[in-house]
Amino acid sequence: MTQADNMKGSKTIAVHWREEEKLYPPTRFIGQAYMTDPAVLERFSEKHFPECYNDYAELLDWFQYWHTTLDDSNPPFFKWFVGGKLNACYNCVDRHLEKQRNKTAFYFVPEPEGEPIEAWTYQMLYRRVNEVAAMLRDFCGLKRGDCVTLHLPMTMELPITMLACARLGVIHSEVFGGFSGKACADRIVDSASRVLITMDAYNRGGKLNDHKQKADIAIKAAAERGAKVDKVLVWRRYPGKYGSATPMVEGRDFFADEVLKDYRRQQVEPEVMDANDTLFIMYSSGTTGKPKGAQHCTGGYMAYVAGTSKYIQDIHPEDVYWCMADIGWITGHSYIVYGPLALGASSVLYEGAPNVPDAERPWRIAEALGVNIFHTSPTAIRGLRRAGSEGPAKYDYHFKHMTTVGEPIEPEVWRWYWEVVGKREAVIVDTWWQTENGGFLCTTVPGIHPMKPGSAGPGAPGIYPVIYDESGKEIPPGSGIAGNICIRNPWPGRMLTIWGDDERFVNVYYSRYIDPKSKGWRGWPYFAADGAVQAADGYYRILGRLDDVINVAGHRLGTKELESACLTVAEVAEAAVVPVPDEVKGVLPEVYVALHPGIEADERIAQKVEAAIIQDIGPIARPRRIWIVPDMPKTRSGKIMRRVLSALSASKDPGDVATLANPEIVETIRSLVQD
């Protein structure tokens, strides 16, 4: 039985979550927050849609104002701020020079702790971005509307190259640095890039990793599929010192730091872009099928990330903001680069892994730089929690605000984040959204709404979510029934389309619940493919991707709530639940857990896990097996690869695991499970 069959069988997803107590934001936070008056929410109500989003667009500098806020004449190809003209680089860099040229735009923190932290002021950024833009234009021949693939790790060259592209109106497509050459090739082919910008090497995991070798693999694989890259710019992590074992290819590969010398002090006028011109492509992190290039626009996207950075991240001019994601993901594009810089903030860019040289590294960085806004994922939080609770208290840092993003957070883990990392001083926002969305969809407004562990909260200002059942009937709040979460209305941060595939765009995100009789945007709900439940208070709890749902004897269980039950067992640090075919029940859950360091695997722990599942969810969810494993197979962005575990449980081939962060663990688990 496939996952799809598994989902068809029943009408509702069973929900067994316990309601969690709400916590109020610390008063000190509210005292300084940008949005504290609940009347503001009224301004973003449907009555004022779409004009409410003019407030976000007003945060930017426009060369020419828009004449139409939303053009919905050709759904679902919505256009925002039509007629408006602007440049993203100008908004992130140039316009801050007058008042704050000497303010730090980025703190670059190298992974080796002995290397100094670099503070890049807006002035320094302005100079370098202009020079790089001149190099891209004159040396690479790139011009407005071209697409260029970047495969850059977390160093200053990444945002600088992105901003230089934006200055020229060149569309950038950054491929996460941890991805393989083959994954990079897929994206070069799809985006038809002629130029690849990469780096020789970068520090991660305590060593200097050869990165340029992936460029050679990528270019060869792309060429085999008819996509010719004729120029490769190679930044050197340590200028002048080549850190890769791969030879440079004469006439094709060039050291960017060397070529750049010819462009010193050059200035490039920012291109006047249309609000609906493409700013970048970001391939979605789909684990199956051809990657989907989410094509994001200039005006709507910039307005949305600036607005949410201001009102949800609550970034003030004096704050030091650290989003510990990778710029190679949408979180980094929106909330390390474009959003914070549009506000003229100081953003931290950390090169490496959070546990190098030890798990207290993030707290030392926070202390050294005075970071007061911290943004990370449940995976990172679980990893830090696994290392122990003593760390944060030792360091003199104080967060006013913390974000969690990327997957549902178990209430246990949320409470640890609140108490230990945030020292009960920081408000927490749990922001639910996707690559395709540009920015947050569900979240509390931190100065207004109380927090509820494990729940993302209501729709973000101006976002009207709805939960539909399989037949398209609305599931009312408080019914305890889960369904498919959709967004009823368009919003400025949403992608324009899937790069080169309008039909797929309509099919994947809209075909599910279209009302053919409707006019304009009504009747075109955006289908997010996540399961969710809405409590009586209007808060949404995301249960995870619909294809993570397990159907046991016609009873749909969200894998996330089983995992959450596992995490109530003190010894358990991480849990993953996967479906395995069963002759009687169709599918049964099988559980994988990894323990906190220093704890020995032991049958009694497995029994405790089973008891916790039965207690929290019921005997229907009794797992077929519980495996205690040394670690979970993870993507480079830290998501647990349930697909791999599920294949192992079903005695199937786990497929290509080369892009995992820890491919070696697959064999360890296989021998445990299958031998």
The residues binding ligand PRX (CB under 6 A) are 284-285, 330-331, 405-408, 430-435, 456, 528, 530, 542, 544-545
Of 311, 303, 333, the C-alpha closest to 82 is 303
Taking the complex as a whole, how short is the minimal distance between the CB of residue 528 and ligand PRX, in angstroms? 6
What tokens were used for 494?
Answer: 């949403």
Q: List, as one string, the DSSP characters of 106-160.
A: EEEE-SSTTSPPEEEEHHHHHHHHHHHHHHHHHTS---TT-EEEEE--SSTHHHH
Taking the complex as a whole, how short is the minimal distance between the CB of residue 525 and ligand PRX, in angstroms? 15
- Distance separating alpha carbons of residues 605 and 571, to the nearest angstrom: 7
Question: In the complex with ligand PRX, which residue's Cβ is closer, 310 or 545?
Answer: 545
Report how far Cα 608 is from the mean position of its chain's Cα atoms: 33
Taking the complex as a whole, how short is the minimal distance between the CB of residue 251 and ligand PRX, in angstroms? 37
Taking the complex as a whole, how short is the minimal distance between the CB of residue 593 and ligand PRX, in angstroms? 20
Taking the complex as a whole, how short is the minimal distance between the CB of residue 407 and ligand PRX, in angstroms? 5
Of 371, 423, 426, the C-alpha closest to 404 is 426
Taking the complex as a whole, how short is the minimal distance between the CB of residue 517 and ligand PRX, in angstroms? 29
Query: Which residues share a beta bridge with 474?
Result: 468
Question: In the complex with ligand PRX, which residue's Cβ is closer, 365 or 429?
Answer: 429
Question: In the complex with ligand PRX, which residue's Cβ is closer, 175 or 528?
Answer: 528
Taking the complex as a whole, how short is the minimal distance between the CB of residue 295 and ligand PRX, in angstroms? 14
Question: In the complex with ligand PRX, which residue's Cβ is closer, 185 or 528?
Answer: 528
260-280 residues labelled b (16+ CB within 10 A) or e (exposed): beebeebebebbebbbbbbbb
Question: In the complex with ligand PRX, which residue's Cβ is closer, 87 or 191?
Answer: 191
Query: Edge-to-edge strand order for the sheet containing 626-628?
Result: 572-582, 586-595, 626-628
What tokens were used for 74?
Answer: 């050709």
Taking the complex as a whole, how short is the minimal distance between the CB of residue 560 and ligand PRX, in angstroms? 8
Taking the complex as a whole, how short is the minimal distance between the CB of residue 62 and ligand PRX, in angstroms? 27
Contact in structure between 349 and 380 (CB atoms under 8 Å) = no
3-state secondary structure 312-364: CCCCCCCCEEEECCCCCCHHHHHHHHHHHHHCCCEEEEECCCCCCCCCCHHHH
Q: Which amino acid is at 370?
A: G
How many Cβ atoms are within 10 Å of 374's Cβ, its own excluded? 27
Contact in structure between 413 and 567 (CB atoms under 8 Å) = yes
Give the 3-state secondary structure of residue 587. strand
Question: In the complex with ligand PRX, which residue's Cβ is closer, 330 or 606?
Answer: 330
Taking the complex as a whole, how short is the minimal distance between the CB of residue 405 and ligand PRX, in angstroms? 5
Angle in degrees, CA 70, 71, 75, rounded to 5:
115
Question: In the complex with ligand PRX, which residue's Cβ is closer, 430 or 561?
Answer: 430
Give the 3-state secondary structure of residue 610. helix
Question: In the complex with ligand PRX, which residue's Cβ is closer, 169 or 531?
Answer: 531
Taking the complex as a whole, how short is the minimal distance between the CB of residue 358 and ligand PRX, in angstroms? 27
Report how far Cα 607 is from the mean position of its chain's Cα atoms: 35
- Distance separating alpha carbons of residues 109 and 365, to the nearest angstrom: 8
CB proximity list for 336: less than 8 A, separation 6 or greater: 159, 323, 325, 327, 347, 349
Taking the complex as a whole, how short is the minimal distance between the CB of residue 431 and ligand PRX, in angstroms? 5
DSSP letter at 656? -
Taking the complex as a whole, how short is the minimal distance between the CB of residue 230 and ligand PRX, in angstroms? 31
Sign of the dihedral through C-alpha 433, 438, 440, 441? negative
Taking the complex as a whole, how short is the minimal distance between the CB of residue 284 and ligand PRX, in angstroms? 5
Question: In the complex with ligand PRX, which residue's Cβ is closer, 343 or 456?
Answer: 456
Residues in the chain: 675
Taking the complex as a whole, how short is the minimal distance between the CB of residue 403 and ligand PRX, in angstroms? 9
Question: In the complex with ligand PRX, which residue's Cβ is closer, 286 or 618?
Answer: 286
Question: In the complex with ligand PRX, which residue's Cβ is closer, 309 or 331?
Answer: 331
Question: In the complex with ligand PRX, which residue's Cβ is closer, 153 or 493?
Answer: 493
Residue whose tokens read 């020229």: 168
Question: In the complex with ligand PRX, which residue's Cβ is closer, 191 or 434?
Answer: 434
DSSP letter at 548? G
Of 431, 489, 400, the C-alpha closest to 305 is 431
292-311 residues labelled b (16+ CB within 10 A) or e (exposed): bbbbbbbbbbbbbbbbbbbb
What tokens were used for 231?
Answer: 């120029």
Taking the complex as a whole, how short is the minimal distance between the CB of residue 605 and ligand PRX, in angstroms? 27
Roughly how many angstroms between the first and final C-alpha of the chain, as a whole number? Answer: 24
Q: How far is the CA of 558 from the CAs of 2, 552, 589, in angstroms?
A: 16, 11, 10
Question: In the complex with ligand PRX, which residue's Cβ is closer, 256 or 381?
Answer: 381
Question: In the complex with ligand PRX, which residue's Cβ is closer, 56 or 527?
Answer: 527
Question: In the complex with ligand PRX, which residue's Cβ is closer, 198 or 285?
Answer: 285
Taking the complex as a whole, how short is the minimal distance between the CB of residue 330 and ligand PRX, in angstroms? 6
Contact in structure between 532 and 541 (CB atoms under 8 Å) = yes
Question: In the complex with ligand PRX, which residue's Cβ is closer, 558 or 654?
Answer: 558
